[in-house]
A and B are shown apart, each in its own frame.
Chain A
Amino acid sequence: MERIECQWCQGHSPAGSASCEICGAPLDVRDTVSDSGWRETPRLRDMTEFRFSNSTCQVEGELVPVAELTLGQGDAVYFEHHAMLWKDTQTPITAVNAGGGVKRMLGGMPLMLGKAKGVGRVAFSRDQPGELVVLPLHPGMEVDAREHAFLVASHTVAYSFERIKGLANLLHGGNGMYLDRFVTAGAPGLLILHGYGNVFERMLKPGETILVEPGGFLYKDASVQMNAVKVPIRMQRDPYLAEMVGPGRVGIQSMYVHHSSE
């Protein structure tokens, strides 16, 4: 059967599909890439549906989109508890320890994560206008996301956290002290983030660098190094920006909280 490749996740869907079966990206529109090389995250159409494992996800709304999951037998997802919008009464929920103990608490990150198991329905959303970033993860992938950006992930994605290295990062990086790290081992998985405002992605070549406001950083491949660099602009206290060094993907959000005011 003839297949069409998704430009966002490289998954294959039947020819003639309006949206990717794996990530929901529209297949009948051109990629939007700026002159400077940033690619806009595909805007998922209202009511777009896609599959993962034995489950489906339907995206509803466009201003503050909702990810509504219908979980199949044997599937589960985990999430930060305050991102849950509604659930069926009979959908089982458990709380799991995220690990990290006091370190995570000091970093402002949740100690416990919610876990919903199939069969059942549960929906998630955040609290500000933005976009869902659907990242199907192939086995062996590692993605880092800013804290509190993650909306939901499938149970085949291992969750940990990464301490941002370097004293300057700790003091000035603006992303707290930790990044969420999502890793797939033997099986593929699904990770959904919520980016505030609009979300853009850029693929950095090996050694290519770009300076990003730390509050605008959303996610990156684990292969991308993130360092805090002082910008010498002749002020009493020079500001810091996040220097991202390739290779790998970097995602940014256009609405952010400046780290000085956080």
Chain B
Amino acid sequence: MATYTCQYCRLSSDPTGVSCPNCGAPVDVRAIVSRTGWVQQPPITDLARIQFGQSRLQIEGTQVPVADFDLTADDWIFFSHHVLLWADASAQLAAMDVPSGWSSSNAGMSTMMWRASGPGRVALADNEAGEVIALPLQPAQRTWVREGRFLAANSAVGYDWHDNQIFFETQSPDEPDQQEKHYPLGRYGDIFGAGQVPGLLLLHAPGNTFIRDLAQNETILLQPSALLYRDLTVHVRLFLEYPTTNDFRWRHKHEQRNVWMQARGPGRVAVQSIFTKPESADRIVDYSYGTTIQRW
């Protein structure tokens, strides 16, 4: 049987289907690639089905899509409590048994995780307009995810957290003895990985999602709060850029600066088109190790 490799989940798939059975991406559409090389992640087609383990899920809706799981008796998923939309009375809901070493209270994950076991149906949705991103994880594959973007994962997926160690400190001219620490990438990131068997990770990305596969040592500057997920082979560090200005007032120079996240390949990065406004415009007096400063 002919196969093709889905460019979104990078797995072999069935070209005769309407959508990739592993990630739900449409099969019959041409890739939308910008002139600058970003590939638009196509929204999962309404009512597309995704198979995982012995169970499957269906994506419903287009503005704030719902992930509708049909769980068999041996399967279970875990998710943050606030994304539950509805459940069959037959689905078993329970508080998540926290794995040893799970320090979710320190990380970005919700401290209140639920587990839903089959047989039965359970449906999840986040509360922002955007897209559901399905990331099938192969054995031993791990990925970094921005905190707060996790929607659900099946039982084959393990979770760990990671101190991003990317920060800068600012000093306000009104309070020169006070310094404020900022974590533009979030203080912690979520690390998800599959163990011995493939797993499925679902994210919810506000706005539209774009992916890019960086070559070895290829770099790009990203809005820190737009970074959605990345391969662990992609290294990130802080990049502070000070443009030239004809305004010679010292304070105003700080207000014009850009706080970037520099990503260096090889590997995949994904960005979401909705991001939060940059933090303080006060003078930066300290920053994390490895930060690059560009003054034009």
Contacts and interface: CB of A to CB of B under 8 A. Distances in A.
A91 interface: no
Contacts of B81: 239, 258
Interface stretch (B18-26, B84-92, B282-290): B84-92
Given A40-B60, A40-B61, A255-B64, A129 B46 contact: no
Contact of B60 (A200, A209, A212, A233): A200
Contact of B89 (A211, A216, A256, A260): A211
Contacts of A2: none
B95 A235 contact: yes
Could you say which of B58, B66, B93, B112 has the most chain A C-beta atoms within 10 Å of its C-beta? B66
Chain A contact residues, majority secondary structure: loop
B121 interface: yes
B75 interface: no
B64 to A, nearest CB: 3
Nearest to B125: A254
Interface string A19-43: 0000000000000101110101000
A212 B127 CA distance: 15
B94 A197 contact: no
A241 B88 CA distance: 12
A255 B125 contact: yes
Interface of A: 32, 34-36, 38, 40, 63, 128-131, 196-198, 200, 209-213, 216, 231, 233-235, 239, 241, 252, 254-258, 260-261
B64 A196 contact: yes
B85 A213 contact: yes
Given A34-B60, A256-B127, A261 B68 contact: no
B66 A254 contact: yes
Contacts of B125: 197, 216, 254-256
Interface in B40-82: 46-47, 49, 58, 60-66, 68, 70, 81-82
B61 A63 contact: no
Contact of B86 (A32, A128, A196, A252): A252
A260 B110 CA distance: 13
Nearest to A33: B47
Given A211-B89, A252-B85, A255-B128, A200 B66 contact: yes
A38 B46 CA distance: 13
Nearest to B91: A211
B58 A34 contact: yes
B69 to A, nearest CB: 9
B86 A213 contact: yes
Interface of B: 46-47, 49, 58, 60-66, 68, 70, 81-82, 84-89, 93-95, 112, 114, 121, 123, 125-129
Nearest to B69: A36
Nearest to A253: B64
Nearest to A250: B86
Given A32-B46, A198-B65, A241-B84, 8 more contacts: A34-B47, A40-B60, A129-B129, A196-B127, A213-B84, A252-B85, A254-B63, A255-B127
A130 B49 CA distance: 23
B86 A211 contact: yes
A131 B60 CA distance: 14
A165 B217 CA distance: 63
Name, among B86, B87, B89, B121, the residue most crowded by chain A CB atoms within 10 Å (CB to CB). B86
Contact of A212 (B66, B85, B121): B85
Contacts of B58: 34-36
A142 to B, nearest CB: 23
B121 A198 contact: no
A260 B87 contact: no
A36 B123 contact: yes
Contacts of A231: 93
A213 B94 CA distance: 15
Given A40-B46, A210-B88, A235-B95, A34 B68 contact: yes
A211 B82 contact: no
A234 B60 CA distance: 30
Contacts of A131: 63
Given A32-B46, A36-B58, A254-B65, A241 B87 contact: yes
A129 B60 contact: no
Contact of B85 (A234, A239, A254): A254
Contact of B129 (A34, A197, A212, A252): A197
B82 A261 contact: yes
Contact of B114 (A233, A254, A255): A233
A182 to B, nearest CB: 23
Contacts of B114: 233
Which of A40, A200, A254, A260 is most buried by chain B, counting CB atoms within 10 A of its CB? A254
Nearest to A129: B129
Contact of A129 (B64, B65, B66, B68): B64
A116 to B, nearest CB: 28
A115 B233 CA distance: 61
A198 B60 contact: yes
Contacts of A261: 82
A36 B47 CA distance: 11
